Amino acid sequence: MTALPIRQPVRIIGIDPGLRRTGWGVIEAEGNRLIYVACGSVEPPDDLPLSSRLLSIHEGLAAVLSSHQPTEAAVEQTFVNKDGVATLKLGQARGVAMLAPAMFGIAVAEYAPNQVKKTVVGAGHADKQQIAMMLKILLPKAEPPSADAADALAIAITHAHHRQSTALRLKVAGL
C-alpha cells in the first residue's frame, strides 16, 4: 500500500485595491479547509499627491508580503463606473496591487466582483453585510477591521476555491 502525498497548505493573499484604503487578507488553504492568517488595510494619508499615495500602497503591500510570505495572490478586477477619472485612478491603485506580488515572484489571479460575491455568499449581487456574515462562518477567527479587509479575505477565499481552474487556464494559455 502506497502512502498518499501530504497536501501542503497554500498561503494566499487577497487584495482589494483602492486609493483611500487597499484591503489585504491572508489565508491558508489546505484542500477544502480555510485557515485565517491575518488581514488589514493600507491607508495612505488623503493629503498626499497621487504618486505618493501609490508609493505608500506599494510599500504597505510589500511589508505585508514580506511578513506573511504568501505563495499565491488574487486581486479584484476593477468595475467601470460613470466617473471615468475615478475609474482610472482606481485602475492605477489596482496596477500597484498587482505589481507588488509580482515583484515578489508571486503569480496574480484576477476575479470579478460578482464572482467573489457568488463564491463566498452564493449570489453575485450580495451586499457587504452578507459577505461579512459568511466570513464569520468560513473564517471564524477573522475580525476584519474594515470592509476593505473583509473584501480582501473574500477575494482570497475565491482564489482558494478557483485556483485549480485558474492554474489550468494559465497553463493552456501558455503563461
- Kindly list the catalytic residues: 16, 76, 148
Cell numbers given for 46? 488623503
Cα–Cα distances in Å, from 28 out to 31, 37, 91, 102, 174? 10, 7, 27, 19, 27
DSSP output for 102-141: HHTT--EEEE-HHHHHHHHTSSTT--HHHHHHHHHHH-TT
Q: Which residues neighbour 132 within 8 Å (Cβ) at sequence distance 6 or greater?
A: 144, 147, 150
**Closest by CA position to 75, among listed 36, 41, 109, 42:** 109
